[in-house]
Structure 1
Amino acid sequence: MTEEYCPHHQDGNQLVKRIAIAIVGLLIVCAIVVLLVWAILHPSKPRFLLQDVTIYAFNLSTAPHLLTSNLQITLAARNPNSRIGIFYRKLDIFASYRNQQITLPTLLPTTYQGHRDFTIWSPFLYGNDVPVAPFLQAGLSADINGGLVMLDIKVFGHLKWKVGSWISRRYQINVHCPAYISFSDRIKGFQVGSAMKYQLLQTCRVDISL
């Protein structure tokens, strides 16, 4: 028994193949366009600046080794790109001393930054009776007695790039801002009520990764 020839069936298969090839070709063209736009624009990392730190409390107890800190920081971020926007999401900011976190993380608001736009955040950072390792307690006590403590203000979170209506995948952003607090030199700080405010204008290191 021979198989009957059906021209309509073959025409249908050819149509499906052509549609599939057209869709694949369109996707390839779109991907190439996106890659070309991305390569031409080549986004630059955002720039962060730690403007100031206001110390409301910074008390270290020796038995047990506990640190209580209460500070407010002013952090500025700038998008240097002229054609690319930036979405910031789930940014946590906290203070650390010699890689030990000494405050709870504070969540910064979700933010969109337009072309060459500025954003300023002024969060409070709190750490009440935070246990400090004995070897860190000795170093911190010596720094306080010496009048100079170097803190690290850290920001961890995610960002996305925006080109026109296209939005990139999510990237991780890590920001490290050294904060040199001079407890002995009142010239570098000024009284704000019961607190001391220090103008720093310290450039931060920014790392972007997948």
Structure 2
Amino acid sequence: MADANQPHLNGAYYGPSIPPPQKSYHHGRSRGSIGGGGCGSCLLKLLIALLIILGLTVLIFWLVVRPQKVKFHVTSASLTRFEHATSDNILRYNLALNVTVRNPNKRLGVYYDRIEARAYYEDKRFSTVTLIPFYQGHKNTTILRPLFGGQQLVMFNSKELREFNAENISGIYSIEVDFRLRIRFKLGKAKTRRFKPKVKCDLKVPLSSSNGTMNSSPGVFPATKCDFDF
């Protein structure tokens, strides 16, 4: 009787159709991120390999060439005048140096494109001379003879003036001579770019007479090694 009243129910009822599952892009993005990570890993490995190659190249170059610093020594100094007048604050001076420059390298030559020598007293520059450029071969020694002579306005404060007077009594003066360089190195036919090292020489120079003999104050100039700084 129930079937007669509901003719549309003539068989099994399965309900509405189930829609197809929506496409998910989650796994696609994961694969993309994994791929990006792999690319970054390759770049990192390439960078490490390049650094290793560069390090090995530098090591091999150092083992073959064995580069060493150029050595500066002030072997003698003659100071025949070093006077400062408080009336006009003029420093009058006459200083001559012998400086040996040694290139200890077996395979590197050195071009000295510019050599400027500067003389200081109490951190005040009182003279500058420019020397003649030259080329220095392997394991070679060259002698430089900078000559500082003349007069310069130099203002001393009270402390510096006391120190000058004390050294004037002792007859030995603390003079600093610096060399400002522009150099290039030569290996075979190849030449490097220019470097600008500084050479600093802290000197204790005794005052001598104009004929080279010592004044009444004792003192002999000690040969002095200079600091070479890149």
Q: Is the 8 A contact 2:119 2:176 kept in 1?
A: yes
Which residue of the other structure, out of 28, 40, 62, is the alignment partner of 1:39? 62
Q: Is the 8 A contact 1:88 1:159 kept in 2?
A: yes
**2:98 is aligned with 1:74:** yes
Q: Distance in 1 between matches of 2:182 and 2:69?
A: 13
* TM-score, reference length from structure 1: 0.72
Change in Cα spacing, 1:134 to 1:165, as seen in structure 2 (3 Å) is same
* 1:76-110, Cα deviation, whole Å (9 max, x unpaired): 1000111111111211112111221122x111111
| Distance apart, 1:194 and its partner CA | 6.2
Q: Distance in 1 between matches of 2:210 and 2:156?
A: 31
Q: Distance in 1 between matches of 2:133 and 2:152?
A: 29
Q: Is the 8 A contact 2:80 2:210 kept in 1?
A: no
**2:216 is aligned with 1:193:** no
Give the match's secondary structure for 2:98.
Answer: strand
Q: Is the 8 A contact 2:206 2:221 kept in 1?
A: no
Report the structure, 1 or 2, having the larger strand content.
1
Q: Is the 8 A contact 1:75 1:120 kept in 2?
A: yes
State the one-letter code of the partner of 1:123.
P
State the one-letter code of the partner of 1:206.
F
- Please say which structure displays the higher CA radius of gyration: 2
| Distance apart, 1:35 and its partner CA | 5.4
Give the match's secondary structure for 2:138.
Answer: coil
| Distance apart, 1:201 and its partner CA | 1.4
Gaps of 5+ in 2: 1-53
Change in Cα spacing, 1:77 to 1:125, as seen in structure 2 (3 Å) is same
**2:92 is aligned with 1:92:** no
Q: Distance in 1 between matches of 2:182 and 2:61?
A: 19
Which residue of the other structure, out of 189, 192, 213, is the alignment partner of 1:165? 189
Percent identity over the alignment?
Answer: 22
- In structure 2, the residue matched to 1:132 is 155
Greater RCO structure (CA 8 Å; 6+ sep): 1
- In structure 2, the residue matched to 1:50 is 74
Change in Cα spacing, 1:140 to 1:60, as seen in structure 2 (3 Å) is same
The alignment yields a C-alpha RMSD, in angstroms, of 2.7
* TM-score, reference length from structure 2: 0.66
Q: Distance in 1 between matches of 2:157 and 2:135?
A: 42
